[in-house]
Structure 1
Amino acid sequence: MLGMLVIFALLAPPAILLAYRFVPPPFTPLMLIRLTEGYGIDKDWTSLDRISPDLQRAVMASEDAKFCTHDGFDWEALEENIDKLQQGRRSRGASTISMQTSKNLFLWPNRSFIRKGIEAYLTVWLELLVPKQRILELYLNIAEWGKGVYGAEAAARHHFGVPAAKLSPRQAALLAVTLPSPLRYNPGKPGPYLSSRAGVIQGRMYAVPYTKNGVCKEH
């Protein structure tokens, strides 16, 4: 029985990821957790071609500039973090969009070595089974952008009153820099830090690869 449970635990995620290659996820663990905390669920699945390219670029510039070229892991950033930990220095985030998508689809939002190990296992399967364009589409549709607000379409309408396709470069940059702390920051009413950070990302967003016509291409 234990062996069967282990096999199921190992093989169920790839099967689910294969399904998510073609159909939208109905919900994520974080959505259910936030629901128990008293937040609603405001989401509206939107295809990547109806999400502003500026938001796609801004999110990659802010979260994972190497998204189009890595295999799911930013090995250089991981090595840098290991070096900093060995020196007793504070490490920075090395989580890629692929890793965050795996976490958001399956896992809980706290940090531990066990969760990180599971996240890495899921990320390998995600990159094997799902094209880059679809990974970005999944991420932009399930990311948390406020209390009970999930995905680019709901976020654009909630914070700026426009559909995701009509986001301006500034609005896109503000949404992108909110991602690390969506319950703390409000992109519709940015403070000095968020405004400054958005300005930096707005300056970088056109220098990173972006997804168009199904492949990652240079702008």
Structure 2
Amino acid sequence: MAAPRRSKRLVRELLRIVLAFLLLPYVLIPFYRLDFIHPVSTLMLADLAIFQGYDRQWVGFDEISPHLVRAVMMSEDGQFCSHMGVDWEQMKGVVDDALAGEATRGASTIPMQTVKNLFLWNSRSLIRKGLELPLAIFADAIWSKKRTMEIYLNIAEWGPGVYGIEAAARYHFKTSAAKLTPSQAALLAVSLPNPIERVAGKPGKGMKRLAALVDRRAKRSGAYITCLYE
């Protein structure tokens, strides 16, 4: 009888650990609302765990070039100001494509990407997406839009061991986040989906064309960014 009891205790302990893992982000999200808290991503923690280290200098939202903010928003999440963490129209389109057997497109919003970077992992899976959606909705309810963007731009990866827009601006363009030009901002924005292969400081022709399109959208983004710039 001792062995079955030990097995039950082990299962209970494992369930407690899993539950704690699931609930921890909901405890940390209100904590991260505080401006003086500078959270790190799971990728940054992984770099520390393997003694690789990383480069990140936190900057406040007002210290980031509006060109960069507009470019990232128009490249990554054009409806950022209007949705509540999840763009359900985009999500419906992905589901419809999947059910039809077609290739699916990305539908991750900036809140979704932010909570994924903070608490989850990168590989695609239904489990991760299932955890990501409620976290994004909760974070959007707790954080202001400016705070969400500030956290995202300070934890996003922009190269090997390069995290946050200040480190990215210095690494790729030898300037500060505040002084990024529209063209530099657009290149950084389009590199976000794959910053290891899409090197903002050394763009190819295809990347330059995509950046030019994002730059044009950013310059016409006035009606879309009212939650960030009045």
Alignment-mate amino acid for residue 62 of structure 1: S
Which position in structure 2 is the counterpart of 1:121? 134
1:92-171 aligned at under 5 Å gives the runs 92-171=105-184
Which position in structure 2 is the counterpart of 1:48? 61
Which position in structure 2 is the counterpart of 1:210? 225
Greater shift after overlay, 67-76 or 37-46?
37-46
1:177 matched to 2:195:
no
Listed as ranges, the gaps of 5+ residues in structure 1 are none
In the TM superposition, what is the alpha-carbon distance from 1:35 to its structure 2 partner? 4.6
- Looking at structure 2, the residues matched to 15 and 181 of structure 1 have their Cα atoms a distance apart, in angstroms, of 30
2:157 and 2:195 in contact (8 A); partners too = yes
Q: How many residues were matched structurally?
A: 215
Which position in structure 1 is the counterpart of 2:7? none
Listed as ranges, the gaps of 5+ residues in structure 2 are 1-11
2:86 and 2:112 in contact (8 A); partners too = yes
1:195-215 Cα shifts (integer Å, max 9, x gaps): 11000000101233236xxx4
Q: TM-score, normalised by structure 2?
A: 0.87
Q: Percent same amino acid among aligned pairs?
A: 48
User: Quick check: which has more Rg, 1 or 2?
Assistant: 2
1:129-168 Cα shifts (integer Å, max 9, x gaps): 1111100000000000000000010000110011000000
- Looking at structure 2, the residues matched to 202 and 39 of structure 1 have their Cα atoms a distance apart, in angstroms, of 34
In the TM superposition, what is the alpha-carbon distance from 1:38 to its structure 2 partner? 7.0
Instruction: Label 1:59 to 1:103 Cα distance change in 2 as closer, same or farther (>3 A).
Output: same
- Looking at structure 2, the residues matched to 182 and 79 of structure 1 have their Cα atoms a distance apart, in angstroms, of 27
Residue 20 of structure 1: which of 17, 26, 32 is its match?
32
1:174 and 1:198 in contact (8 A); partners too = yes
1:177 and 1:198 in contact (8 A); partners too = yes
In the TM superposition, what is the alpha-carbon distance from 1:42 to its structure 2 partner? 0.4
Where has structure 1 moved over 3 Å in runs of 4 or more? 1-11, 23-26, 34-40, 215-218
1:79-100 Cα shifts (integer Å, max 9, x gaps): 1111111221101000000000
- Looking at structure 2, the residues matched to 154 and 63 of structure 1 have their Cα atoms a distance apart, in angstroms, of 20
Instruction: Label 1:161 to 1:91 Cα distance change in 2 as closer, same or farther (>3 A).
Output: same
1:101-133 Cα shifts (integer Å, max 9, x gaps): 000011111111111111112112101211111
Instruction: Label 1:39 to 1:174 Cα distance change in 2 as closer, same or farther (>3 A).
Output: farther
Q: TM-score, normalised by structure 1?
A: 0.91
1:173 and 1:199 in contact (8 A); partners too = yes
Instruction: Label 1:10 to 1:109 Cα distance change in 2 as closer, same or farther (>3 A).
Output: closer
1:30-86 Cα shifts (integer Å, max 9, x gaps): 113245567430000000000000000000010000001101111111111111112
Alignment-mate amino acid for residue 225 of structure 2: Y
